Copies of this chain bind each other. A is one copy, B any other.
Amino acid sequence: MSKPLILVTNDDGMFAPGLQALVEVVRELGEVVVVAPDSPQSGKGHAITITEPIRLNKVSVFEGIEAYECSGTPVDCVKLARHVVLKDRKIDLCVSGINHGSNAAINIIYSGTMSAAMEASLEGIKSIGFSSLDYSFKANFEPQKPYVLQICKYMLHSEVSSNLLNVNMPIDAIKGLKVCRQAEARWVEEFQEGIDPRGQKYYWLTGRFENQDDGNPDTDVSALDAGYISIVPSKHDLTDYEALTELRNIEQ
């Protein structure tokens, strides 16, 4: 039996320690190909590049592993991997991350890491986004690695109806894994206002995370607070099915 083909990507760029940690884990499981952005792409959501060309360059970053850096967004990386770099080959698993910072709760929709994973899942590829609660570039991923390995093996060898997992990990003292739903939460924005060197006013986005699902034990945020790794099976159908019937009277 041939080795599984594993695509690795992220949104923090080719030289992020989180990407390196992820490559170190999955290279035990199969043939690894990396296609990652050539610059940090945090907060890029599901953006794609349509009004300009994208560049793709082969690079030597990980010994013995084929790697390409791409000038586009994380979603562009996955599209190029699927349709140019690995054209005509079956990708068995796509892993994205390990992101430096949480993608739990509503962060999933802003996250380049999770959007890359979702794009792969749209192509029918089993896909996992991994994120650590540690925002630091000096984050230590050692405590998380055995769990990353376990979850990748599970996804490779099981038939689960969801082909997209959003995995978030505490920094250390990890108690285990919890399968949960996306917490209802939002960012409360505050813009920092300033004057630039040319005397022009600017606004710089900042904010704080607000969990509106506080006290409910079945969410990803609760699992993380309790020291567990959260796993949210996710999908791309945004239909609000409960509202469908209720809304029907607009048709008259």
Contact = CB atoms under 8 A, between A and B. Distances in A.
A181 B251 contact: no
Nearest to A46: B45
Interface string A39-83: 010111111111111111000000000000000010110011011
B46 A40 contact: no
A55 B191 CA distance: 11
Interface in A207-252: 231-244, 246-248, 250-251
Chain multiplicity (copies): 2
Q: How large is the interface on A (under 10, 10 to 19, 20 to 34, 35 or more residues)?
A: 35 or more
Contacts of A202: 53-55
Contact of A178 (B177, B246, B251): B251
A232 B239 contact: yes
A137 interface: no
Interface in A107-121: 108-110, 115, 118
B151 A250 contact: yes
Given A50-B205, A238-B109, A191 B247 contact: no
By secondary structure, the A interface counts as mixed
A95 to B, nearest CB: 16
Contacts of A237: 181-182, 184
Most buried by B among A43, A79, A240: A240
A228 to B, nearest CB: 9
A50 B192 CA distance: 11
Interface stretch (A1-9, A20-28, A138-146, A156-164): A156-164
Nearest to A159: B246
A173 interface: no
Chain B CB within 10 Å, residue with most, of A201, A242, A247 = A247
Contacts of A40: 51
A45 B190 contact: no
A35 to B, nearest CB: 12
Nearest to A48: B43
10 contacts: A42-B51, A44-B47, A49-B205, A52-B204, A53-B203, A54-B203, A108-B238, A181-B244, A233-B247, A238-B238
Task: Pick the 3 closest A-B CB pairs, nearest first.
Answer: A45-B46, A162-B243, A53-B202
